[in-house]
């Protein structure tokens, strides 16, 4: 059994926010008289909210850790179908569920984040054979505070200060820690292998995609209307990107007027459809002082020999094609390859949609 201090060291030694929930769960499971830990985060898509259990660990071994990029949103439990979790969120306090008397088994549910984080919501569930003592609950509160502090610190280092989107550095972390995980190997691997320090590289599933979007004629906008107006355009386009894509897609600002999206999707046509929705949303918006603004988008699938740089280069070729075609267009790199624009067609590519 590890000591409290050892678990604090592990929590504060992270450089990857996606692993904090796992480390917190392992600490609580080790330090408390509980038989199960569940961390459920709120995911949103097209105005609907559902529960995603990002971590579920059992004291006797076993459990699972879920990458949000890989989930089927429609299969998740609706927010209202887990009323006790929802009540904990709404009350912003601990909710204790007991079903076999005052000394029997129970579940304690606590908000994972503070009330200040409106965009991040989740519940920590502690399953135990009996009541938790005041000392146990104090330990939980202390570890939650450490988790929240580390989450905020890592988020600050991962975010673009102007738009709040992820920055270019964080793409490398996600690319190598998540995208290059083989689904079959990951399912059979032990939970300890998911912790930092493990160099694991696997065959890439064909349904990971990276896309880029650039604002058409952005330099002219900045030259004509000034820096302040140009920055306002960037912020508004970033908000439309956030409102168009799913909450578990990773959204980036790579610099200047270049935005990025890393997503997991089973079909090329669906990816194209998502970028088309974003393109149309920008086109329809009336930007104050500027009026009409458009974007050009390009996307590509992630292959086993890809790096972040090679994927971005492919998306930039697709964006360049869209701009040469007049802008305000979304293009698939694979579709353009199949049409003979960029060299030899990619083997086993899906049907053309470009």
Per the CB < 8 A criterion, the answer to whether 49 and 122 are in contact is: no
Return the pLDDT at 221. Answer: 95
Q: Can you give the pLDDT of all 354 residues of the chain as single tens digits?
A: 678 888 899 888 877 777 789 899 999 999 999 999 999 999 888 778 999 999 999 998 888 877 777 778 889 999 999 999 999 999 999 999 987 777 889 999 999 998 767 778 999 999 999 999 999 999 999 999 999 999 888 888 888 989 989 999 888 877 876 565 543 343 344 444 444 433 333 344 458 899 999 999 999 999 999 999 999 999 999 999 998 998 889 999 999 999 999 998 888 999 999 999 999 999 999 998 899 999 999 999 988 788 899 999 999 999 999 999 999 999 999 999 999 887 655 444 444 455
Give the span between the Cα atoms of 236 and 105, in whole angstroms: 49
β-pair type (95-98, 48-58):
unpaired
pLDDT of residue 14: 72
Q: What is the CATH number of domain 172-338?
A: 3.30.70.270
Q: Which of 175, 144, 122 lies closest to 305 in space, CA to CA?
A: 175
Q: How many CB atoms lie within 10 A of CB 119?
A: 10
d(CA 158, CA 173): 10
- Please tell me if the domain spanning 4-158 has the same topology as the one spanning 172-338: no
Query: So where are the chain's domains?
Result: 4-158, 172-338
* Residue 62: closest CA among 25, 112, 12, 32: 25
> Cβ atoms within 10 A of the Cβ of 344, count?
7
- Which residues touch 212 (CB under 8 Å, ≥6 apart)? 254, 258, 259, 260, 261, 297, 298, 299, 312, 315, 316, 318, 319
Contacts of 39 (CB under 8 A, 6+ apart): 21, 24, 25, 53, 54, 55, 56, 112, 122, 123, 124, 125
Is CATH 3.30.930.10 what the domain over 4-158 is classified as, yes or no? no
């Amino acid at each position: 059994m590890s000591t409290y201090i050892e678990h604090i060291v592990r929590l504060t030694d992270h450089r990857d926010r996606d692993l904090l929930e796992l480390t917190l769960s392992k600490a609580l499971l080790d330090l408390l008289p509980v038989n199960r830990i569940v961390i459920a985060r709120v995911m949103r898509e097209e105005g609907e909210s559902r529960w995603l259990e990002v971590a579920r660990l059992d004291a006797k071994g076993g459990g699972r850790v879920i990458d949000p990029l890989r989930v089927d949103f429609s299969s998740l439990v609706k927010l209202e179908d887990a009323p006790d979790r929802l009540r904990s969120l709404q009350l912003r306090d601990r909710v204790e569920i007991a079903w076999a008397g005052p000394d029997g088994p129970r579940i304690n549910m606590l908000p994972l984040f503070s009330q200040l984080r409106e965009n991040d919501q989740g519940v920590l569930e502690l399953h135990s054979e009996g009541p938790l003592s005041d000392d146990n609950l104090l330990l939980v509160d202390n570890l939650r505070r450490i988790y929240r502090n580390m989450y905020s610190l890592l988020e600050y280092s991962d975010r673009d200060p102007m738009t709040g989107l992820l920055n270019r550095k964080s793409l490398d972390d996600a690319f190598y820690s998540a995208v290059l995980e083989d689904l079959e190997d990951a399912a059979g691997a032990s939970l300890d292998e998911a912790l930092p320090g493990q160099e694991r590289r696997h065959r890439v599933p064909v349904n990971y995609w990276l896309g880029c979007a650039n604002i058409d004629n952005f330099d002219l906008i900045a030259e004509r209307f000034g820096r302040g107006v140009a920055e306002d355009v960037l912020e508004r386009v970033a908000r439309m990107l956030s409102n168009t894509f799913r909450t578990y897609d990773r959204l980036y600002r790579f610099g200047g007027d270049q935005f990025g999206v890393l997503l997991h999707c089973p079909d090329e046509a669906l990816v194209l459809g998502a970028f088309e929705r974003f393109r149309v949303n920008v086109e329809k918006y009336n930007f104050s002082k500027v009026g009409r603004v458009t974007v050009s988008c390009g996307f590509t699938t992630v292959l086993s020999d890809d790096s972040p740089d090679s994927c971005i280069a492919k998306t930039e070729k697709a964006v360049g094609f869209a701009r040469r075609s007049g802008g305000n267009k979304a293009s698939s790199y694979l579709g353009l390859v199949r049409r003979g624009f960029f060299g030899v067609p990619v083997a086993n590519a899906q049907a053309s949609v470009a």
